[in-house]
Amino acid sequence: MRLIDSSKTDTLPKLLERNSTTDPRGAGMREKTRGVWQTYSWRDYRDQVRDFALGLASLEFKRADKLSVVGDNRPQLYFAQLAAQALGGVSVPVYQDSIASELVYVLNHAETSIIVAEDQEQVDKALSLKDKLPKLRWIVFDDPRGLAFYEDPILRSFDSVLEEGRKLSQAHPGFYEAELAKGSADDTAMIAYTSGTTGNPKGVMLSHRNMIATAESFLEVNDVKRGDNWLSYLPMAWVGDAAFTLGMALVARLTANCPENPETVQRDLRELGPDAILAPPRIWENMLTIMQVKAGDASPLKRRVFEHFRALAERCELKKTGGEPLTLGERIGLAAGEFFIYGPVRDQLGLRRARWCYTGGAPLGPDTYRFFRSFGINLKQVYGATEASALIACQADAEANPNTVGRPIPSIEVKVDDRGEVLLRGPNVFKGYFKQEDVTRETVTPDGWLKTGDAGFFDKQGHLVIIDRAKDVGKLADGTAFAPQFIENKLKFSPFIREAVAFGHERPFVVAMIAIDMQTVGAWAEKRGLPYTSYMDLSRKPEVAELIGGEIAKANITLPDVQQVKRFLLLNKELEADDAEMTRTRKVRRKFVAEKYASVIDAFYGGKSSADVTMEITFEDGRKSTLSSTIAIHSEAAGEPVRQAA
Amino acid sequence: MSGISILGVANVSKKFGGVTAVQDMSLDVPRGGILSIIGPNGAGKTSLLNMISGFYKPDTGQIVLEGQDITQKKPSDIAALGIARTFQNIALFSGLTVLDNLMLGRHVRMKAGVLASIVYWGMAQKEDIAHREVVEEIIEFLKLQDLRKLPTAALAYGLRKRVELGRALALEPKVLLLDEPMGGMNQDEKEDMARYILDVNQERGVTVVLIEHDMGVVMDISDRVVVLDRGRRIAAGTPEEVQRDPAVIEAYLGTGKGGGRA
């Protein structure tokens, strides 16, 4: 019987109750504080959730009320979400790095009545919005640091709410259990706000059924064992974190581990050595860069050994994917490499125990992908969407492939309609957008198919391949199809290109705006003795333009003639979520960028060699300023011989 | 602030050869406040701090901590009594990690002998764990978690200043003497440091004596300001009072001239 069919296990807090009964001493959650990993057993975990839930009840938090959490991954913020759900409430996690004006929209739309904030920074933000949030009744803070002299009566400490809860539990024994029993599978568990590449964020309502059934489906085809360690370091407002730290961990009894703070993640990862991990491409790329920098700084002998085994691993990996057998010499070499290089590198990265690693959210460059695979890291692709409870498809160990996203997980049907859009049906399809029934009707067909908005197809072995957002696929002036993301991804595979935005819809040819990668281009410039001061200065160097031109020429070779990038420019600042150019999950907001840089795009096609840009930039604290500058436009003539980049 | 002083300096003088660094100086440091000492270069600020912390012995006068005369005590004894300090030029063990530097700050509070520490058993072990707890709390307080295991030599200047503050706090002082904690910092780093000093004072209840040149910071965070010039105290009072004092304006700006570093 599936968990969802039993009234004892059909909500997330009920699963917590089950875990605390069947495995009271097992580690439910851990957090690193003061340099030590501190454990909450399943029973401690349940007790905290119960006491906080009762505390919420004493603050008159009722069924269907909304509770928001804002902060880095902290056990208390997970407890608060489950506590709200135990009372039949809804959790609405929000992005901790959102600026105040973004928060106002989400918190108002969600009708949040209680905010649980991690620390002073988040409390300050919440207090500054208080007057604009008529439904807000309480702000509960976890870390009291710096808040001793705050006198606003709306503030409560997390501990004081727990204390209230303990009092209530003595006065009304059995109250929590009764509330818990009232919950059912189709109650809304959380509202996850999509980052919104167009317009305002939309509130995706996910039921307990969505969360639990999706976790069960995923677990059927993935190697997950009870007690496995999971690192909870991705933003809490992102549905993927909820799917694992709450859904998967409660269903399969994994231990969720919260890092000490965002700066220590890499070190905490190494200390913990999780049994499996999910990371977006930028984290994999970052790991690779760090490793290359470290290898470059090593002594010449060590560098040669590393280089030798790296090349060997890559050669063997290519042979393996091509189905060729390895020679005896290669096998012996790999075994030696495992001892000297591959094992220690995996250990340094904290991936020695990881049985599988997923990358998702955006494509990962094939070189990066091959590197990790060749070092014995089981890196695979996963595909999902907020509206599909985070998970749609994933790859089996034997079928890892950077070009596909794998097979749909069990009990989920996926099809591609005649326009090329990916549709799916199953228990992971969300309940609808909160207070936006019209948009829900546009997104889910009457017979239950969810339109993902992604354009894709199934390949010969039955794997799903995603090309682009369906609405972004346009046509060049001569009528040939133009998939901007497809082109951008090819460009972004270059280590020197951090972001790329391609244009070409109803235009004669394709152009691209490039944001260089400060770290790698900076290192490249230093090696050449090329002096520079800032990002802006670096992006203006003709040598850098030539470097990027070479990288684009390389990418062009892999593209059909008409899709090749003919002209490009280097942006003089990085694309920023604070400037609304990207979403908080770092997806380019194409339409917005096109409007912002309209003059540049005209200059591209007008054949000019430079464009004047005036733009507004937003600082982290929300202050704004304007920046005026002239950006040069470069040509990358198609068919030109590839200039060697480095 | 309460009128009771925690630290008293009475008629203290110090000469180096023919140069009088500090002359007949008296001041009271109220318990629980932030007292700033300002003045032009060579006014005797650092010399005064050096006498309070025991690095120099005054030629005349008396220094009293909580009723106890500390004038002739050794620096290590004064530290053990509860006065910690940071230095104008950072004084950390650059080859040691942040954690080890902070643990060293606990040294005067450690009781286990050499032999027991080598065996690392029983009391020595318990003591080490207790000290580590204090240090971890400071690491959290100053947000140094990601730097714990890095040698201090690898850190940026502003971070080293923060580590030095941490080491002083590891002593669990009653009085903290800070000698230009913001010297050489950019505006962001200064704002961070000012925040930490306020938190040290308000949340940990430590009395702070601060030497600082950035007048904006001094006027913002001090309860009381004492102004020195050529080894003498020329003014004292709240920041507002001091700013209006003609003697201060003269010492800083000269008479009838504009400019100056305030």
Q: A279-304, pLDDT tens digit by residue? A: 998 899 888 888 888 887 889 999 99
Mutate to test the interface with B, among A33, A34, A348, A621 (most CBs of B within 10 A): A34
Q: Which of chain B's residues have a Cβ under 8 Å away from the Cβ of A260?
A: 145-146
Q: A506 or B109, which is more confident?
A: A506
CB–CB of B139/B148 below 8 Å?
Answer: yes
- Nearest-CB residue to B137 (from A34, A149, A267): A34
- CA separation for the pair A365, A372 (Å, rounded): 11
Mean pLDDT of A567-590: 83
- The sign of the CA dihedral A307, A308, A311, A316 is negative
Q: What integer pLDDT is reported at residue A197 of this predicted model?
A: 62
Token pair of A254 as six digits? 């994994």
CA distance to partner chain A, nearest, from residue B215 (Å): 24
- Residue A38 contacts B where some CB pair is shorter than 8 Å: no
The three-class DSSP label of residue B103 is helix
Are B202 and A148 in contact (CB < 8 Å)? yes
Q: What is the mean pLDDT of residues A584-607?
A: 83
**Residue B48: closest CA among B20, B89, B77:** B20
Chain A residues touching residue B143 (CB < 8 angstroms): 261
Q: In chain B, what residues touch A145 (CB-CB under 8 Å)?
A: 141, 199, 203
Q: What pLDDT does B253 receive?
A: 67
For helices A100-110 and A120-129, the axis angle rounded to 10 degrees is: 70
What is the spatial distance between Cα A237 and Cα B154, in angstroms, rounded to a whole number?
35
Burial of A450 (0-12, 13-18, 19+ CB in 10 A): buried
Neighbours of B258 (CB within 10 A): 6
Interface of B with A in 93-152 (CB under 8 A): 132-133, 136-137, 139-141, 143, 145-146, 148-149
What is the H or E stretch that residue B235 is in?
strand B232-237
Nearest-Cα distance to chain B for A118, in Å, is 15
Per-residue model confidence as pLDDT tens digits over A26-83:
999 999 998 899 999 999 999 999 999 999 999 999 999 999 999 999 999 999 999 9
Alpha helices in A322-389 (DSSP H): 328-337, 343-349, 366-374
Contacts of A36 in chain B (CB under 8 A): 136
pLDDT at A618 over 50: yes
Contacts of B145 in chain A (CB under 8 A): 35, 260-261, 263-264
Task: Answer yes or no: is pLDDT of A550 > 70.
Answer: yes
Mean pLDDT of A351-356: 95
Per-chain mean pLDDT for chain A = 90
CB contact under 8 A, B199 and A146: yes
Cβ–Cβ contact A621 with B under 8 A: no
Q: How far is B147 from chain A (nearest CA, A)?
A: 9
In this predicted structure, which of A459-463, A554-558, B230-234 has the lowest mean pLDDT?
Answer: A554-558
Q: Does A263 touch chain B (CB under 8 A)?
A: yes
**Is the Cα dihedral B147, B153, B156, B162 positive or negative?**
positive
Least reliable range by pLDDT among A555-569, A571-585, A620-634: A620-634
Instruction: Give the distance from residue B126's alpha carbon to the nearest chain A alpha carbon, in angstroms.
Output: 16
Question: Is the CB of A174 inside 8 Å of chain B's CB atoms?
Answer: no
Tell me the ipTM for this assembly: 0.74
Q: Is A1 in CB contact (< 8 Å) with chain B? A: no
**Residue A35 is nearest to which of B139, B141, B202, comparing CB atoms?**
B139
Q: What share of chain A is helix, strand, coil (3-state, %, to 5)?
A: 40, 25, 35
pLDDT confidence of residue A595: 84
Neighbouring residues of A193: CB distance < 8 A, sequence distance ≥ 6: A92, A94, A106, A110, A201, A202, A203, A204, A237
Q: Are strands A356-359 and A276-279 parallel, antiparallel or unpaired?
A: parallel
DSSP bridge partners of A415: A423
- Measured distance CA(A256)–CA(A23) in Å, rounded: 15
Interface check for A261 against chain B (CB to CB < 8 A): the answer is yes
Instruction: Give me the pLDDT at residue A196, please.
Output: 64
Q: Tell me: the pLDDT tens digits for A166-221?
A: 999 999 999 999 999 999 999 999 999 987 666 788 999 999 999 999 999 999 99
Closest CA to A59 of A175, A151, A139: A139
Full DSSP string of A525-587: HHHTT----SHHHHHH-HHHHHHHHHHHHHHHHTS-GGGSEEEEEE-SS---TTTTSB-TT--
Give the closest-approach CA distance of B193 to chain A in angstroms.
14
The confidence score (pLDDT) of residue A200 equals 82
Please give the pLDDT value at position B259.
42
Rounded CA-CA distance A116/A209 in Å is: 25
Return the pLDDT at B260.
41
Task: Give the residue from chain B lying closest to A260, CA to CA.
Answer: B145
Q: Does A619 touch chain B (CB under 8 A)?
A: no
DSSP state of A262: G
Minimum Cα–Cα distance from A146: chain B residue: B199
Q: Which two tokens stand for residue A47?
A: 């007790």
Structure tokens at B202: 């308000």
**Is B188 an interface residue toward A (CB < 8 Å)?**
no
Residue A638 pLDDT > 60: no
Place of tokens 């082109």: A487
In whole angstroms, what is the distance from residue A621 CA to residue A591 CA?
A: 25
> Where does the pLDDT of residue A602 fall: very low under 50, low under 70, confident under 90, or very high at 90 and above?
confident
Which residues are CB-neighbours of A10 under 8 A, at least 6 positions away? A3, A4, A183, A184, A185, A208, A209, A212
User: Scanning every residue of chain A, which has its alpha carbon at the shortest distance from the alpha carbon of B135?
Assistant: A34
pLDDT of residue A506: 86
Name every chain A residue with its beta carbon within 8 A of the beta carbon of B146. 260-261, 263-264, 267
Q: Residue B203 and residue A146: Cβ atoms within 8 Å?
A: yes
Tell me the pLDDT tens digit for each residue of A307-316: 999 999 989 9
Coil vs helix vs strand at A52: helix
Residues of chain B below pLDDT 70: 1-3, 112-117, 119-121, 253-262
- State which amino acid sits at residue A622: G
Q: Which of A80, A88, A82, A83 is nearest to A122 (CA)?
A: A80
Asked if the C-beta of B187 comes within 8 angstroms of chain A's C-beta atoms, the answer is no
The minimum CA-CA distance between B184 and chain A, rounded to whole Å, is 20
In Å, how far is A304's CA from the nearest CA of chain B? 27
Q: If you count residue pairs, one on A and one on B, with CB atoms under 8 Å apart, how many are there?
A: 31
d(CA B125, CA A14): 43
Q: Give the alpha-carbon dihedral of A231, A235, A240, A242, to 10 degrees.
A: 80
**Of A217-231, A389-403, B87-101, which one has max mean pLDDT?**
A217-231
What is the DSSP track for A488-506? HHHHHTSTTEEEEEEE-TT
Instruction: Indicate the range of A122-131, A156-165, A373-382, A490-499 predicted with least confidence.
Output: A490-499
Contact A35 B203 (CB under 8 A): no
- Calculate mean pLDDT across residues A461-474: 86
Contact list in B for residue A146 (CB cut-off 8 A) is 199, 203
Q: β-strand A276-279 against A393-394: which pairing, if any? A: unpaired
Would the CB atoms of B145 and A260 count as touching at under 8 Å?
A: yes
- The tokens for A383 are 């595909």
B203 inside 8 A of chain A by CB: yes
